[in-house]
Amino acid sequence: MDISNKHGSFQQHEVFSSDGTKIGYRSIGEGPEIILVHGALRDSEDYTHLAIALSRTFTVHLMDRRGRGLSGPQGPEYAMNKECEDVQAIRETTGADYLIGHSFGGLVSLEMARNDASISKVALYEPGVLLYPMDEAWMRSYEQSMQRNDERGAFAHFVKGMGQTPLTQLPYWYAKLILRIMIRGDHWTKTSQLLPQNLREHREVQRLASSYRNYRSTPADVLLIQGDKSSDSTKKMMEQLHRTITRSTLETMNKLDHFGPENSGGPDQIAELLTEFFSQS
């Protein structure tokens, strides 16, 4: 769904990645080009307000990562390199040298930036970086639930397995019940449709666990952003990334959690910080 505002309207585009997969994106604004790479269990529409706020100063390209929205499927050979190739296809069309990544999209953006010196600035809101590998038991339970068509069960295993909410400490059956009450209607419809993609993506997160040292020599200027209401484990990861990445700055946003950049979070507050970062020479 395209949205018009006083700064203009979104224009829909598509490119084709290296393997021929269609990658759709929507663009808004005028000025230096930025690609916004969204998180897992999300698509471009979850970041519409942030894109509009940034469009006062920049041209924002709001992509749908493969497996959702305007884009083609993940494909049988899905891996992180496919995600990077998708972003690169948009870069080649738009000339964008700036990236914004949230959660899993932040991990994609980091992988892009460490391997390509032509990316000059990257802003990352709590990227999906693991300091240590996860216990894979929840992934196996997630997959088994999907095989039984128990999508609610798969989602409960994911939320508990990631360990970033109070639900982690609850019995599985109770967490599943609470999530059923909390996430319903259109929100659940969208979430359930993205569960297969989410599992593949988190297997890539697991595969890249403990690889944060690879980002030490990232040539881009890196802005790391965290919410002050985010989990202690997330803050520990962000502090380690800041110590590791030579050209990085760490900022904390008041009253925001992991979902700050999304439409219901703090897009205007975050947009101010991003505008300052990307406007600096």
**pLDDT tens digits, one per residue of 227-246:** 999 999 999 999 999 999 99
pTM (predicted TM-score): 0.95
Residue 179, pLDDT > 50, answer yes
**Under 8 Å CB-to-CB from 266, ≥6 apart: which residues?**
253, 255, 256, 260
Residues 119 and 216 placed together within one structural domain of the fold: yes
Q: What is d(CA 64, CA 15) in angstroms, rounded to the nearest whole number?
A: 11
Residues 161 and 117 placed together within one structural domain of the fold: no
Burial of 152 (0-12, 13-18, 19+ CB in 10 A): middle
Residues 71-84: what's their mean pLDDT?
98
pLDDT at position 265: 74
Residues 261 and 122 placed together within one structural domain of the fold: yes
Q: How many domains does the chain have?
A: 2
pLDDT tens-digit series, residues 31-58? 999 999 999 999 999 999 999 999 999 9
Residue 62, pLDDT > 50, answer yes
Residue 8's pLDDT band (boundaries 50, 70, 90)? low
pLDDT tens-digit series, residues 115-138? 999 999 999 999 999 999 999 999
Q: What is d(CA 29, CA 16) in angstroms, rounded to the nearest whole number?
A: 23
As a 3-state breakdown, the chain gives helix, strand, coil percent values, each rounded to 5, of: 45, 20, 35
Residue-averaged pLDDT of the chain = 95
CA angle 238, 243, 244 (to 5 degrees): 95
Residue 2, pLDDT > 50, answer no
Comparing 28-42, 136-150, 156-170, 172-186, the range with the smallest average pLDDT is 156-170
pLDDT at position 6: 45
Residues 241 and 188 placed together within one structural domain of the fold: no
Residues 51 and 114 placed together within one structural domain of the fold: yes
Q: Which domain holds residue 164?
A: 137-204
CATH number for the domain spanning 236: value is 3.40.50.1820
Residue 101, pLDDT > 60, answer yes
**Under 8 Å CB-to-CB from 29, ≥6 apart: which residues?**
7, 8, 51, 54, 55, 56, 57, 58, 59, 60
